[in-house]
Every structure is written in C-alpha cells, then in structure tokens.
Amino acid sequence: MRVTRELAEQLGMTESSRRAVSSGVVYQIYPRSFRDTSGDGVGDLPGIAAGVAHLERLGVDGVWLSPIHPSPMADFGYDVADYTDVDPLFGTLADLDRLVAELGERDISLLLDWVPNHTSDRHAWFEASRSSRDDPRRDWYVWRDPAPDGGPPNNWTRHFADEPAWTFDEHTGQYYLHLFLPQQPDLNWANEGVRDAMVGVLRFWLERGVAGFRADVVHLIGKDAALADDPPERIGVPRAGFHDEEITHTYLGQIRDVLDEYEATMVGEVNLPDAARVVRYVGDDRLPMAFYFGLLYAPWERDTWRDVLAYAYTHFDGADAWPVWALGNHDTPRQVTRYGSLARARAAAVVLLTLRGTPFLYAGEELGLADAEVPEDRVVDPGGRDGCRAPIPWDASPTRGWPTADPWLPWPPDTDDHNVAAQEADPDSTLHLYRRLIAARRDSSALALGWFELLDGTADVLSYRRWLDGDERHVHVNFSDEPRDIAAPAGTVVVSTERHREGAPFTGHLGTTEALVVRPTP
Ligand code: TEU
C-alpha cells in the first residue's frame, strides 16, 4: 500500500515509518538461483526480468536483489570487488537498467544489497591498502600490529569458523581485521574517505532509479578505536550477533541524508537478538527501517511466538519505529525444513503477512519449497547455507524451466508439485495462499497499517487483532497438530490456510495447523 504524505500526516506517522510502509511487501531474490537465461546454470538479470509476471501476480511492491556486483564469490557476492558494476555472470549495467524499467512499469520498486562493512580482498581499495603501510588507502581498512607474542591483535572470532577475525599480511607485517572470511576485509568507517566513497556508491545507484537498499550487517560498521578484547564468555562467539557501537548511529545519519535527497529507503540487517537494541538503529536521522529476526529464529511454539511479538511491539511501537519481518532468507533453512511440515510453513505465512511491519518474503517460500539436500561433493558455501539457496523450479520438466538440468546447486525436493506452473494451476496451492494474503493485506488498512494487540486465545492458539479507524481484522493460528475450538468474536473468514472456509462465518473452530484471518462482525 502506497502511503502519501497527506495520509501519513493524518495517521501521525513519522517520515521513516511512511517510507518503510510504502515499500509494502518485499520479495528477496537470490540472483544465482531465480532464473537462468544464459545456460551456464547460474541465474541472471535477464532471468529476473523474464520472471516479473510471477512477481506482479503475487502482488509484491518491492524486490530486493542479493549482491550482483563483480565478485570472486568467496561469499557468493557478499565479497564485492567493484560496487558500481554488475558481475558478467549476472549480465550488464544495461540489463539492470532494463530490469528497473520492467519492474517500474508494474509499480514494483527495486532494492539493491549494499555491503558496507567489508569488501572483497580483490577490491582495488584493498589491493592498494595492502601494498604498503604508506599507501593513501592503508587506513581504509583496519590494520594493527601483532600482539606481543606475534598473535592476532585481539581475541575476536570471525564468522563461519572458530578462527580469529584477523589475518597476518607477510608483506607489510601487520594483521587486517575481517569479521567474516579472510577474503572479506573490514573497511575502516572512521576514515572519511571510506564514508565518502560509500556515499558515492549509493548515489551511483540512486541516479539509476533504484528505490533503495538492504544494508548488509550494517550494525558492524562502527568500531571502537581500542578494539578491546571480548570478555571470556564471548570468546568463540562471532561478533555479528552482539557488536553494537554508538558511533554507527552517527555514520547512519550521513547515509540517511543521501537517502533523503532521493526519497529512497533502506532496510538495515541489524542482526542483534534484542529488539530494544535494534530499534535504536531506526529513526528519522538514521535507518528508515531494520529487520527484526525474532521470528526467523523462533521454533514453532505458540508461546515463543507470542513472547517475541509482545516484546518486539513494546519496543518498536514505543520508539515509533516500523519493524521489518522475515521468516526466511538466503542464510537460514527454509520454513518447511525448519518447522518440519508444509502445513506449519503455510500457517506461519499467515502471521508474516498480517503483522504490523513490512514483510520480506524469500523467493521460493511462496512455492512451499523445502531445502535441497546437498551432497558433500556439491557443497560450495563456507557458511553451510546451500540448502536454502537451491534454484527455483519454474515447471515440472527435466530442466524445471531452466536451460540446463544441472544448475549450480541441486534442485529442492518435490519439484513435481513445488514449481511455479504446478502451483499456479492448483487453487489450493501455497502460491495462491500467498496471493490471497497479500491481496487481503492490500485491501485492509487495518492489516496494512493498523495497530497490533495480542488477544487471549487458548493454549496452542496464537490470536491477535489489527485495527485502524473503523477497519479491523483478527488472526488465529493453531500451532497444534490437532483441531482446536476457541472462544473468539464471531465474523467472516477472509483468508484461511483451508481455502474452502473462506467467505464462511467464523465460529471459533480451527482445523489442524489452520491459520485464518477474520473480519469481525461489527
Ligand atoms: O549475513 C550476516 C550474518 O550475520 C550471517 O552470517 C548469519 O548469521 C549466518 O549466515 C547464519 O548462518 C550477511 C549476509 O546475509 C550473508 O549472506 C553474508 O555471508 C554476511 O552478511 C557477510 O556479508
């Protein structure tokens, strides 16, 4: 739902919230896996353009692309070697321009992935930086002398392995910091040249008509100059889960000024477990919005979901911040795999698409995909995340609508039923459930913009209401694998995981793992 300035004013929304809401429902594409046109078994930009009709029918308002820039692919694009170009694997700048136009014609905006914390070790900035201690780019990265024993400068642990976050550079005799792979050196945001260069990167893409960005691990960019040791209980814990420095908010202020010039948006990946910390990254002088991953990491348990929602809204509503929710992404096993059943994944989708906050979908979840089983000899990701990155099946043919039957990763399971064409043909499919949910959200100001309040519900059933002015919806989710009857206000079923119930009166009965949206009787 697009929110004009006038409507935002009427509703008393902050500018940050208005811009966040305006991106509606966002669909994440992992470009390697969406659709291939070149025949090399890796998805590409013309492939995404060929798939826009699917996005339009789904009804999404925005698309976020995981990185498409030139990269040695040590972390599959999250190691950027050039921020202002497109990797030939994915196509050309002209392909990107065409995609922006194709999406724009359908009123879908494009968000790129901006990776501000680190570059590739093959980026020209890092090659210069490591060439000599006197190079003007030396200070663009975080270099430190060895500890007195010759070991790393502090006890920080990197991601993806229980190893130091430092690599020694023989040539210049110092260590450089990398919170992720050694091929992903951390930039030094304390250096003004780095900040200006990154602003230049944002401008480059905003000038080309991009609507905004997803900012990769943006909470990591500020570093305390002392780089003090972690306390003993944190040794071995990668920093991305707790690193939280005040100075980052100042850097985000400079970023926000640029976004504001273009009326652009940004969603920060602030991977902190405490919503109270995450909201501090959101506001009119910092990020327009930030992911909150409380539900992404929650097991399929009614009490846990209830607690996460209660705590999150206390902090987000309390700070007048608009949350961003996701149940899947390219780093996390898919919902069907995590919860252990398609029925639960479908019920979870009802929650995702009826929350207060912007929902992000991960390509393939609308098809009910599970993770691919990746045999050992085909494992490619250093972080063990290949399963959720399997290619999207477009039909049931041997090549699943791709030019090759053997793409870069194995297919997900059950592609006979779980492909775009088959799901399209079956009105009871997960794809149609997602479409009905997105349409219901668009049709109801209570669902799109309204307030959130938990209702009492019965054990095993999560119940909440959304409302705005005269519009109201109730959501009931049966977390148990048996039917449940609850005492709830009567109304009409608007959307259900059991399609045959839609349009019928709601009397408090919920089938096995059923989730539904009710318009209460006034
Ligand atoms: O992810 C950050 C992050 O915290 C993840 O490493 C996550 O904790 C892990 O994957 C769980 O298995 C972002 C990107 O989404 C990820 O793909 C990149 O690898 C990472 O940053 C480095 O850029």
- The answer to whether the CB of 506 falls within 8 A of the CB of 497 is no
What pLDDT was estimated at residue 7?
72
d(CA 369, CA 37) in angstroms, rounded, equals: 22
Q: Which residue's CA is minimally distant from atom 6 of ligand 1?
A: 159
Q: How far from 468 is each of 359, 436, 453, 454, CA to CA, in Å? A: 18, 21, 12, 15
What pLDDT was estimated at residue 456?
87
Q: Which residue's CA is minimally distant from atom 7 of ligand 1?
A: 331
Place of tokens 């692309």: 65
End-to-end CA distance of the chain: 24
- The set of protein residues with a Cβ atom below 6 angstroms from ligand 1 is 75, 78, 115, 159, 180, 216-217, 240, 269, 271, 330-331, 383, 385
Which of 257, 261, 469, 485 does the annotation list as catalytic?
A: 261
Q: Which residue's CA is minimally distant from atom 16 of ligand 1?
A: 331
Polymer length of the chain? 522
Q: What is the pTM of this model?
A: 0.97
Residue percentage of the chain with pLDDT more than 70? 97
What pLDDT was estimated at residue 194?
98
What pLDDT was estimated at residue 186?
98
pLDDT confidence tier of residue 459, bands split at 50, 70 and 90: confident
What pLDDT was estimated at residue 5?
72
Q: Residue 180 has what DSSP assignment?
A: S
Q: Residue 10 class from Cβ within 10 Å (0-12 exposed, 13-18 middle, 19+ buried)?
A: exposed
pLDDT in tens, 247-272: 999 999 999 999 999 999 999 999 99
Q: Rg of the chain's alpha carbons, rounded to an integer?
A: 23
- Nearest atom in ligand 1 to the alpha carbon of residue 115 is 23
Q: Which residue's CA is minimally distant from atom 4 of ligand 1?
A: 240
**Probe target for ligand 1 pocket from 73, 76, 78, 371, with the most ligand atoms within 8 Å of CB:** 78
pLDDT in tens, 118-151: 999 999 999 999 999 999 999 999 999 999 999 9
Residue with more model confidence, 26 or 9: 26
Place of tokens 């070991």: 151
pLDDT in tens, 181-196: 999 999 999 999 999 9
What pLDDT was estimated at residue 20?
63
pLDDT in tens, 28-39: 999 999 999 999
d(CA 202, CA 251) in angstroms, rounded, equals: 14
- The answer to whether the CB of 424 falls within 8 A of the CB of 61 is no
- Nearest atom in ligand 1 to the alpha carbon of residue 117 is 23
d(CA 473, CA 465) in angstroms, rounded, equals: 6
Residue 1 has pLDDT above 60, yes or no: no
Question: Both tokens of residue 204?
Answer: 């480059």
**Probe target for ligand 1 pocket from 30, 69, 80, 217, with the most ligand atoms within 8 Å of CB:** 217
Q: How far is the CA of 331 from the centre of ligand 1 (A)?
A: 6
Going through 84-242 in order, the beta strands assigned E by DSSP cover 109-114, 143-144, 166-169, 174-177, 212-215
3-state helix, strand, coil in the chain (%, to 5): 35, 15, 50
d(CA 73, CA 381) in angstroms, rounded, equals: 10
Confirm whether 261 is a catalytic residue: yes
Q: Which residue's CA is minimally distant from atom 12 of ligand 1?
A: 331
Identity at 292, one-letter amino acid code: Y
Q: Which residue's CA is minimally distant from atom 18 of ligand 1?
A: 78
Q: How far is the CA of 18 from the centre of ligand 1 (A)?
A: 28
pLDDT confidence tier of residue 109, bands split at 50, 70 and 90: very high
- Nearest atom in ligand 1 to the alpha carbon of residue 118 is 23
